[in-house]
Amino acid sequence: MTDIMYREALRRALDEEMQRDPLVFIMGETIAERGGSYKVTEGLVKKYGPRRVVDTPIAEASFTGMAVGAALVGCRPVVEILFIDFAMLVMDQIVNQAAKYEFISGGQGKVPMVLRTQGGAGNGLAAQHSQSLEALFYHIPGLKVVMPATPHDACGLLKAAIRDDDPVIFIEHKLLYMTQGPIPDDEYVIPLGKADIKKPGRDATIITYSYMTLKCLEAAAALESEGISVEVVDLRTLTPLDKETILASVRRTGRAMVVHEACKRGGVGGDIAAMLMEEAYDDLDGPVVRVAGKNTPVPYNVRIEQACVPSVEDIVEGVLRML
């Protein structure tokens, strides 16, 4: 095992998959010579050349459409969209084309592409660069949505996403790039659709993903010192959703809380809460609790920004309220 940064884990996944399969190529704004704004693709253009590490113009709709076409003829493109906010520019290509092509072609065509992007609040980047929009893609049949929280998961899941025959939206939180964690020295792949219990517990289950996983683990450690044992389930993949792991955990603990940074209204948490009420009602000792971002655009002021997304204290308070 070696400790590396989240961004280095992503780079390792891209490097290994580009070595393994010559049909894998990457494209996005400033990803070649500059190595991307978050330095994920640093050094790859020297190794694979500009035909496989493609710097694009500021024209997200055009180059994402090109990636859909390339995937249809057998390539495996990985598109980088700098901020998830800019993914609004490619909704037609992703939602109306990539997500539906296999269905409308009767299975004759597939779109094995990955759209990498980053979202979430942090660093005072204001309302147009700080959104958590995963629920938009979660809602669309035909898309897979992946949101890893650790370097280990980022590397293994990105490799699986590139090998998958369906279009995958791979969302990285901007505050995770510099975090560190251990990953195996040997090559590995983590299958999509399998949640991970990051911390076992007996009194309540917290269901979460992406950067909130780290905050939930911190909250669980604080609660442990008060004699409260919380299980933290990191979904890792929103679509497909690992309902089996969620249900098994909630049936053990009897209580459930869903935590995400995206605003509460219309969020993934509401869908998971509904699923638990439909399929585990008799196993619950109380209502499902949601801890989520405020229903407001993310402000520029850093202090107000922090008040708009769940804190460790909010998560602790939510668990205490459940109990």
Convert the pLDDT of each residue in 40-94 to its tens digit. Answer: 999 999 999 999 999 999 999 999 999 999 999 999 999 999 999 999 999 999 9
Same domain, 110 and 211: no
Verify whether residue 60 is a known catalytic residue.
yes
Both tokens of 3, joined, read: 């400790």
What is the residue-averaged pLDDT of the chain?
97
Same domain, 127 and 167: yes
Same domain, 141 and 270: no
- Candidates 29, 60, 172, 261; catalytic one: 60
Compute how many other C-beta atoms are within 10 angstroms of the C-beta atom of residue 282: 6
Residue 78: strand, helix, or coil: strand
Q: pLDDT tens digit string along 117-129? A: 999 999 899 999 9
DSSP symbol at 262: E
Same domain, 200 and 95: no
- Candidates 29, 129, 134, 152; catalytic one: 129
Q: How far is CA 243 from CA 90, 111, 187, 321, in A?
A: 30, 26, 28, 24
CATH number of the domain where residue 221 is located: 3.40.50.920
Same domain, 213 and 295: yes
Same domain, 18 and 155: yes
Same domain, 177 and 207: no
* Residue 28 structural domain: 2-183
Would residue 190 count as lying in a domain? no
**Model pTM score:** 0.97
Q: Quick one: CA dihedral 244, 245, 248, 249, positive or negative? A: negative
- Cβ neighbors of 317 (< 8 A, separation 6 or more) are none
Please name which of 273, 307, 312 lies closest in space to residue 293, comparing C-alpha atoms. Answer: 307
Same domain, 92 and 171: yes
Q: pLDDT tens digit string along 270-306? A: 999 999 999 999 999 999 999 999 999 999 999 999 9
Tell me if 154 sits within 8 A of 9, measured CB to CB. yes
Verify whether residue 129 is a known catalytic residue.
yes
Provide the pLDDT for residue 123.
86
Q: pLDDT tens digit string along 185-222? A: 999 999 999 999 999 999 999 999 999 999 999 999 99
Would residue 188 count as lying in a domain? no
Would residue 189 count as lying in a domain? no
Please name which of 241, 244, 247, 148 lies closest in space to residue 205, comparing C-alpha atoms. Answer: 247
Both tokens of 130, joined, read: 């700080």
CATH number of the domain where residue 15 is located: 3.40.50.970
* CA gap 249, 255 in Å, rounded: 9
Would residue 307 count as lying in a domain? yes
* CA gap 42, 19 in Å, rounded: 16
Provide the pLDDT for residue 272.
98
Would residue 315 count as lying in a domain? yes
Same domain, 146 and 270: no
Provide the pLDDT for residue 55.
97
- Cβ neighbors of 300 (< 8 A, separation 6 or more) are 124, 125, 126, 127
Q: How many CA atoms lie within 13 A of 305 on its CB side?
A: 17
Q: What is the total count of domains within the chain? A: 2
Same domain, 24 and 170: yes
Provide the pLDDT for residue 143.
98
* CA gap 120, 308 in Å, rounded: 11
* CA gap 27, 50 in Å, rounded: 10
* CA gap 258, 127 in Å, rounded: 24
Same domain, 102 and 214: no
Would residue 191 count as lying in a domain? no
Q: At what angle do helices 312-322 and 212-224 cross, to 10 degrees?
A: 60
* CA gap 311, 319 in Å, rounded: 13
Both tokens of 269, joined, read: 């948490």
